[in-house]
Amino acid sequence: MRVLVVGSGGREHALCWALAASPLLSQLFCAPGNPGIADLATCVPLGATDIAALVGFARDNAIDLVFPGPEAPLAAGITDAMEAAGIPCCGPTAAAARLESSKSFTKTLCDEAAIPTAGWERCTTAEAAHAAIRRRGAPVVVKADGLAAGKGVVVAATAAEAHAAVDAIMTGRSLGEAGATVVIEECLAGEELSFFALCDGVHALPLGGAQDHKRVGDGDTGPNTGGMGAYSPVPALTPALEATIMDRIVRPALAAMTARGTPFRGILFVGLMLTADGPKLIEFNVRFGDPECQVLLPRLKSDLLPALLAACEGELGQFDLRWYDLAALAVVLAASGYPEAPQRGSEIRGLAAAASLPGVQIFHAGTARDDAGRLVAAGGRVLTVCATGADAAQARARAYAAVDAIDWPEGFCRRDIGARAAAGTGG
Ligand code: AMP
Ligand code: GLY
């Protein structure tokens, strides 16, 4: 099989790593890829949202399966375009990707399908949003309705903060048209959990859970990022909780999408708050998380490629996945200045030695080769340093040993990824 992965981050490197191990694979391509992916796949210099060019490439190169990593190409209709050209693409259509690209779409679906979620209202004017905040009081959550690259959510501890968020997002259009409409939401309290399922429109296979660390600094301080580290499995995700999430959230969402004529295929990322009243949906995403993907795939014992094909073909009902009884933990190395102004161009050394440590895999994200062939930083999140171990403590010790073996003084990471899970005190 000839497979094309779309994207260039640590998530896509992990996907290429898993797919490269498949005995069914004959050739792997990645567009645009990165220097780490180039060791496993042929990198194709096409942007992830250059859909017409990607379809042309897939057709000219007899691609049997396309797997888009990020949300942008999905929201832009890569699945619709590939399928129109007769090329299987494991991801939702643009209509089904609205589960991520429109918060109010998802909240309406939750209400229709009785999926537990925070109370909410959709506001199309700043006046209505201010009034909703006055009615609800603080704490309260303000969300831009559209895609805002992780910057569209303000969890406001005070009403003043919430009103200021509406001024910035709606009146000031700080996020562009993504903020033309906002959702004002009840603030949920509890432990957060990311849960993943592979879906074929009708059936869903659980892929397990992961805990992300979104803030840039130790102890969950500083601004939000794309994610600074993750681990899996999550102790809080018991088999009973997984069954509840599948029965009350995942399957009702699939049924509601099918009833609307827009069945959901691909990876459903279920962002949850484990509240005193049970799990409640914070948001859906329509793809793997980054860095969550990097801790889920090293635990997968089954071949990923036939599972993705079965999802495209509506055959997950007969499918089963097997998992290693291992813990996985990922530490993101970011360029100093991330997330506001990451500095580019500094050289990274010592990766081969770090990657040879037991249980360690290093996935590239924002890296590049300079003219002299040296590996340099070229983005905010630069590397994901992953390790597996018998338990979270061992995976954590191995991942940080690899981090410490990398010679990159201009990079930084959080030092507390998985600390609570490793100590057996929660998470
Ligand atoms: P999102 O971009 O939707 O993932 O939201 C970013 C973060 O905001 C989430 O990971 C939560 O930590 C927080 N958040 C979103 N919605 C709520 C809510 N209703 N109550 C409390 N926290 C929330
Ligand atoms: N790590 C969070 C995300 O991928 O959205």
CA of 184 to the centre of ligand 2 (A): 21
Structure tokens at 168: 């910035």
**One domain, residues 163 and 201:** no
Question: What is the predicted pLDDT for the residue at 175?
Answer: 83
Q: How far apart are CA 284 and CA 100, in angstroms?
A: 6
Q: Is residue 108 part of a domain?
A: no
Our mutation pick for probing the ligand 1 site, out of 106, 153, 215, 290, counting the most ligand atoms within 8 A of Cβ, is: 153
Distance separating alpha carbons of residues 79 and 94, to the nearest angstrom: 7
Structural domain harbouring 137: 125-180
The answer to whether the CB of 228 is under 6 A from ligand 1 is no
CATH of the domain at 67: 3.40.50.20
Shared-domain flag, residues 176 and 197: no
Residue with tokens 């992300």: 212
Residue 103 pLDDT? 83
Q: Where does 229-277 show beta strands of DSSP type E?
A: 229-232, 265-275
- The ligand minimizing its distance to the Cα of 155 is 1
Does residue 187 have its Cβ closer than 6 Å to ligand 1? yes
CATH of the domain at 155: 3.30.1490.20
On whether both 364 and 412 belong to a single domain, the answer is yes
Do the domain assignments include residue 94? no
> What is residue 176's predicted lDDT score, i.e. its pLDDT?
78
The length of the chain, given as a count of residues: 427
- Same domain? For 195 and 301 the reply is yes
Indicate if 298 and 414 belong to the same structural domain: no
Which residues, 6 or more positions from 38, have their beta carbon under 8 angstroms from its beta carbon? none
Nearest CA to ligand 2 atom 3: 289
Q: Which ligand is nearest to the CA of 211?
A: 2
Find out whether 158 and 136 touch, Cβ atoms under 8 Å: no
Distances (CA, A) of 377 to 50, 352, 368: 24, 16, 6
Overall domain count for the chain: 4
Q: What is the pLDDT of residue 102?
A: 87
Pick the residue whose CA is nearest to atom 4 on ligand 2: 289
**Last-in-domain residue among 301, 318, 335:** 318
Q: Could you tell me if residue 111 is inside a domain? A: no
- Token pair in block for residue 88: 């299987």
314 and 365 together in one domain = no
Closest listed residue to residue 220, CA positions, set 10, 420, 391: 420
Q: In this predicted structure, what is the pLDDT of residue 411?
A: 98
CB atoms within 10 A of CB 357: 16
Q: Are 71 and 58 in contact (CB under 8 A)?
A: no
One domain, residues 196 and 253: yes
Q: What is the CATH number of the domain that holds 356?
A: 3.90.600.10
d(CA 1, ligand 1 centre) in Å: 39
Token pair 């399966």 in the structure block, residue: 65
Q: Which of 45, 70, 89 is the last residue of a domain?
A: 89
- Please report, to the nearest 10 degrees, the dihedral formed by the alpha carbons of residues 172, 147, 9, 292 taken in order: 120
Q: Are residues 200 and 293 in the same domain?
A: yes
Of 180, 213, 243, which residue constitutes the final position of a domain? 180
Q: What is the mean pLDDT of each run of 10 residues along the chain (427 residues)?
A: 98 98 98 98 98 98 98 96 98 96 90 95 93 95 83 90 93 83 94 96 97 94 92 96 97 97 98 96 96 98 98 94 97 96 97 97 97 96 98 98 98 96 77
Question: Is residue 172 one of the residues assigned to a domain?
Answer: yes
Which residues, other chains included, contact 273 with Cβ-Cβ below 8 Å and sequence gap of 6+?
A: 118, 188, 189, 190, 191, 192, 193, 279, 280, 282
Give residues (CB < 6 A) around ligand 2.
212, 226-227, 285, 289-290, 292
pLDDT score at 217: 96
User: Per DSSP, which regions of 204-251 are E strands?
Assistant: 204-212, 215-217, 221-224, 229-232
What one-letter code names the amino acid at 44? V
In a domain, 100, yes or no: no
Residue 118 falls inside a structural domain: no
- Same domain? 203 vs 310: yes
Structure tokens at 182: 């906002």
pLDDT the model gives residue 39: 97
Q: Are residues 344 and 411 in the same domain?
A: yes
Whether residue 211 lies inside any domain: the answer is yes
94 burial type by CB count under 10 A (0-12 exposed, 13-18 middle, 19+ buried): middle
Report the largest interatomic distance among the alpha carbons of the chain, rounded to a whole angstrom.
61
pTM of the model: 0.94
Alpha-carbon distance 300 to 284, whole Å? 22
H or E stretch at 375: strand 375-377
